Chain A
Amino acid sequence: MNKYRVKGRGRVDTSTPVTFTFDGKSYTGFKGDTVASALLASGTHLMGRSFKYHRPRGPVAAGSEEPNALIGTRRGPGRFEPNTRATVQEIWDGLKTTSQNKFPSLKWDVGAVNDAAYMMFSAGFYYKTFMWPRSFWDKVYEPFIRAAAGLGVAPSEEDPDTYASRNLHCDVLIVGAGPTGIAAARTAAGKGLSVVLVDENTEMGGTLLSEPNMDIDNIPAWDWLAAELASLEAAGVKMMTRTTAIGYYHQNFIGMVEKLTDHLPNLPADTPRERMWHVRAKHVVLAQGALEKPLIFHGNDRPGIMLAGSAQTYLNRYGVKVGTVPAVVTSHDSAWYAAFDLHDAGAAVQVIVDTRSNVPEALRDAAKSRNISIKINHTVTATSGRLRIKRVRINPVTDGNVGRGEWINCDALLMSGGWTPSLHLFSHTKGSLDWNDDLSTFLPKDTPEDCVIAGASRGLWGIETVLADGAARAAASLAKLGVSADPQSYTVTHDRTGSGETMRELPTDKSAGKAKAFVDYQNDVTAKDLRLAVREGMRSIEHVKRYTTNGMATDQGKMSNINGLNIAADALGKKQPEVGLTTFRPPYTPTTFGAFAGYHRGDHFEVERKTQIDSWASEEGAVFEPVGQWRRARYFPQAGEDMDAAVRRECAATRAGVGMFDASTLGKVEVVGPDAVEFMNRMYTNPWTKLANGRCRYGLLLGDDGYIIDDGVIGRMSQDRFHVTTTTGGAARVLNMMEDYLQTEWPDLNVWLTSTTEQWSTIALNGPNAAKLLQPFVEDTLLTEDVFPHMSCKECTVAGLPARLFRVSFTGEIGFEINVPAHYGRTLWEQLWSAGQDLGITAYGTETMHVLRAEKGYIIIGQDTDGTVTPYDCAMGWAIGKKKPDFVGMRGLARPDLQDPNRKQLVGLLTDDQSKLEEGAQIVFDPDQPIPMTMVGHVTSSYDCGTTDRPIAMALVQGGHAKMGEKVYIPMSDRTISATITETVFVDPDNSRLKIQPQV
């Protein structure tokens, strides 16, 4: 099982074996292994199939930048995750993992025919291959693309895990706990500052975990590391592992995701799976290090080919030899050290191929002393081996000419194309970058945030160098916080400094057109694709990226961006900075939706507001609907009733006897003050000066553009006090608008505005028996036409409760709205309910309310209006105070466009075949015109279960007010419906039903 495990190497706990499965087969690794390291220890490199060509792939890296080894992980019932990087997932007893993108099996995959048909999948194939014939799209191309798209399979079960979020404020946040970050933390620690050190790995140390053989201050590196981490912790530094800083936002706000349970076999109780940290740091030190670049040559993606630094990590951190007869190809010194480490661990390194002509003497001597064959000035032109590399073909290069190739047997190929500084978070800060010709890479320049970047992430190399830089940069940070610090100095013996050259595609003696030299492994983008994109006209790297999809996979181009840029720049004959670098965007690594959603799921996704009467409706079996954030009773079905039947019954009962409706959600604003009437005159279209105390009026609110924003009945409770009602959904918007005008345009007005929506419970009684039912509860007022006519209001006592009583109607029937202090709502409701039994009282919901108001042609804001409708469009010119010098929207209404007689206007529609129209259906004047037809309006409201003998509808129709009696047509998918334009009032046009008849 652990054939490739090297005794005495690595940091895994060999006394604790761990068993997990991969594609159903059982494997044993050790505590501390990742899935990738454990599989490699058993000799398994093949871990997945590639995205486009289904080529066999193994891990090419050892960390979170891994593009190839993506697996499905099952952590128990309901806990499946696709596309987990095998190089990051820790193993535990019982973990089940699966390979992806293969059928029927990983070793024998049908989709690999794509590899042979690679000509079909060249750059921009999305835009070319599937274009024609047109008829192939629906049946062939789209199903094919949908089946092939994506790598893993989306989970089908609801996520049973919980996710948390937490705030963190600190003085110094250090991102990355490699040598740079540790030195920075050392500088900041013990100075009375809150310091946080964060790292995405399971343990801190970064590069040091892969470099056990150097001494720091004369202490072996790992001993030094352990002591240093313990000392930092003792000094009060908050140390966070398995925590990824995913994004850097304005004003030093950093998002960090902490993984808490994915590595545990037994889930601890009450522990979230992940926690999103919202960090606000006074200063940030970025020490994310650098990522190694692959070399680009034909067949550079076979299992067994990996980054040299990663092979070194597998050996030194996990005790795993990635091959027994490895070969090495490099353009950077660092890979030589990987070769030496593998040799010293017992591997027979076949050859070190270096593309450069100048390699340091010391390295060559060290190789010679180990009897490793050296090929300077050589290139790699091919590899072979179906599921694992077997041979590599190397050729000498003389003055740019590629000589004869020679095949060398190997079971692993380690490559290094140099290192790319990690600038992701730095770039999130809108930090500027500078192209460095010597390093052939971008380096960080300025950032608007309070942040420094240190170590390998700004292009430095060597442990001693980055330790010093981490300390110095942190000291500079502290200085800005007003804290002085002496950066500690470090001595490193056996340090592995080095440099390298940057290559594009390696020189080859083969046809470049047939080379499969991969730049982006995850999206299967080759060097040839990039050059083709340039030939086909792409000039900016942003275009090249989108055309080829280079860098667009979940690894976000961590390994491919700079290689891609170098090739594109070469193809364009331009310098790299002229071609540009694509933007780094958060998150740094793939992040679960759960981490972002945190607590906001299920019932906690949004606030649900309930009225005091909601509990009664719930007990009565009401069906609810959301209106804004409110939950409102939609209808009250009796046994066997569907919605239409319930609504028909509720409508009929209300028109025949009395209906009761919970109107508590209506927005309410108290407008109070000496200038209240002037304020109302300026805000609403209507005139308010002459409205007497104890009377109310329907108010219309416009924007300054002249369009209707809101409406509602407004009662004048006293000279200086208005009880304003708004629509349910518009309450906050209206109050905000009132405050805006009051505070910023008319600060001279002495007026106070208070939201009272939740202070009142509001019960609406409607129907011919409404007054009869209510009268016994109202001691001090006679509910007659003479004493309390329609549109009256007063403060009085109802059922012994202090109340504001309104005589208003949104149904066309005799109507009352009784406002009582909110918590009395249900008490009053039940008293009225019980008293109304003899009168056939019926509770109705919002659906019946909608039908009854439509029968009277009363509009609903947002249904019959859409933000482009004026009062005149709704034939509501009567609501406008024509003698007022100004109100919000008055000047807007005078705009030429709003005066056009051919505007869309609100009318009634009656279908000729008595069918019910669809709300939102489009209307035309001529049903026989060619398609596309000229659409002249749409249906806004439509009902067929009210108290009329036929379905009714309202619609906005061009010039509709002048077209009474004319025909319009509503083309539907199966037929065209004809309808006649009518007035919008379908029931009781002369409002006789509003009158209370004298009791005989």
Chain B
Amino acid sequence: MLLIHCPYCKETLPEVEFSYAGEAHIVRPDRPADQTDEQWEEFLFLRSNVKGPHFERWRHLHGCGRFFNAVRDTVTDRFHATYKAGETRPDLSELLKDET
């Protein structure tokens, strides 16, 4: 079971309090009606499916209820960072440098 740091509660808590919510930084367009079929397909279905550090969303479902973002390595399951929804994507090379 993973331990996850909630950036709102500022506590590291067991995975059972959280739920996974898919890839992060996929912004719903302001005016979906103006999207071409290709653009909409990209938004709706296409995900990066990376092997390695993955930007993803979690929700502290059984805690504060907030959605937040995380960088988790899909190979090792190690969390490199968690940060609040709406914050900019952290610099991956900086993060990985800290880890080693």
Contact = CB atoms under 8 A, between A and B. Distances in A.
Contact of B77 (A250, A704, A896): A250
A628 interface: no
A253 B2 CA distance: 8
A886 B1 contact: no
B18 interface: no
B37 A739 contact: no
A885 interface: yes
A891 B3 contact: no
Interface in A895-923: 895-896
Interface string A131-143: 0000000000000
A736 B59 contact: yes
Contacts of A896: 37
Contacts of A885: 31, 33
A740 interface: yes
Given A744-B85, A892-B40, A894-B33, 17 more contacts: A278-B1, A280-B3, A448-B78, A704-B32, A704-B44, A736-B19, A739-B59, A739-B67, A740-B21, A743-B66, A743-B67, A744-B57, A744-B67, A885-B31, A885-B33, A891-B32, A891-B35
A76 interface: no
Contact of A448 (B2, B40, B76, B85): B76
Nearest to A753: B65
B76 A747 contact: no
A533 interface: no
Contact of B44 (A249, A278, A705, A740): A705
User: SS class of chain A's interface: helix, strand, loop or mixed?
Assistant: mixed
Given A430-B76, A740-B21, A886 B2 contact: no
Given A885-B33, A891-B33, A250 B2 contact: yes
Interface string A727-750: 000000000100110011101000
A890 interface: yes
Given A744-B85, A747-B86, A886-B33, A892 B44 contact: yes
Given A430-B76, A890-B32, A251 B3 contact: yes
22 contacts: A250-B1, A250-B77, A251-B1, A251-B3, A430-B76, A448-B76, A448-B78, A705-B44, A736-B61, A739-B65, A740-B21, A740-B67, A743-B66, A743-B67, A744-B57, A744-B85, A747-B85, A747-B86, A885-B31, A885-B33, A890-B33, A891-B40
Interface in B64-94: 65-67, 76-78, 85-86
Contacts, number: 55
Contacts of B61: 736
Contacts of B76: 430, 448
Interface in A730-785: 736, 739-740, 743-745, 747
A654 B10 CA distance: 55
Contacts of B35: 891
Nearest to B30: A886
B28 interface: yes
B26 to A, nearest CB: 10
A576 B67 CA distance: 48
Nearest to A745: B28
A167 to B, nearest CB: 9
Contacts of A705: 44
B52 to A, nearest CB: 13
A740 B66 CA distance: 9
Contacts of A891: 32-33, 35, 40
A886 B67 CA distance: 23
B32 A895 contact: no
Contacts of A280: 3
Interface size class of B (residues with CB under 8 A): 20 to 34
B98 to A, nearest CB: 16
A892 B45 CA distance: 11
A609 B78 CA distance: 37
A166 to B, nearest CB: 15
Nearest to B29: A891
A448 B44 CA distance: 35
Contact of B32 (A253, A278, A886): A886
Contacts of B78: 448
Nearest to B57: A744
Contacts of A895: 37, 40
Nearest to A735: B65
Interface in A543-561: none
Contacts of A704: 28, 32, 43-44
Contact of A253 (B1, B19, B66): B1
A622 to B, nearest CB: 32
B68 to A, nearest CB: 9
Nearest to B3: A251
Interface string A680-698: 0000000000000000000
A651 B80 CA distance: 59
Contact of A886 (B31, B57, B59, B66): B31
Contact of B1 (A249, A736, A892): A249
A745 B24 CA distance: 12
B84 to A, nearest CB: 10
A891 B57 CA distance: 23
B82 to A, nearest CB: 14
A359 B39 CA distance: 74
A739 B19 CA distance: 13
Interface string A249-271: 11101000000000000000000
Nearest to B45: A705
A370 to B, nearest CB: 54
A250 B40 CA distance: 37
B17 to A, nearest CB: 14
Contacts of B85: 743-744, 747
A891 to B, nearest CB: 4
Contacts of A890: 32-33
Contacts of B28: 704, 745
Interface in B33-51: 33, 35, 37, 40, 43-44
Interface centre among A885, A886, A890 (most CB of B within 10 A): A886
A-B complex: 5 closest residue pairs judged by Cβ atoms: A891-B32, A743-B67, A745-B28, A448-B76, A250-B77
Contact of B2 (A251, A745, A892): A251
Contacts of B59: 736, 739-740
A895 B45 CA distance: 13
Nearest to B27: A745
Interface in A230-284: 249-251, 253, 278, 280
Interface string A872-903: 00000000000001100011101110000000
Contacts of A744: 57, 67, 85-86
B27 to A, nearest CB: 8
Contacts of A430: 76
A735 to B, nearest CB: 10
A200 to B, nearest CB: 22
A944 B86 CA distance: 54
Contacts of A253: 1
A249 B77 CA distance: 10
Nearest to B77: A250
A253 B14 CA distance: 11
Contacts of A278: 1
Contacts of B21: 740
Contacts of B32: 704, 886, 890-891
Interface string B51-65: 000000101010001
Contacts of B31: 885-886
Contacts of A251: 1-3
Interface centre among A249, A253, A744, A894 (most CB of B within 10 A): A744
B64 to A, nearest CB: 11
Interface in B1-19: 1-3, 19
A758 to B, nearest CB: 16
B40 to A, nearest CB: 6
A885 B35 CA distance: 13
A683 B50 CA distance: 31
A896 B65 CA distance: 36
A895 B37 CA distance: 7
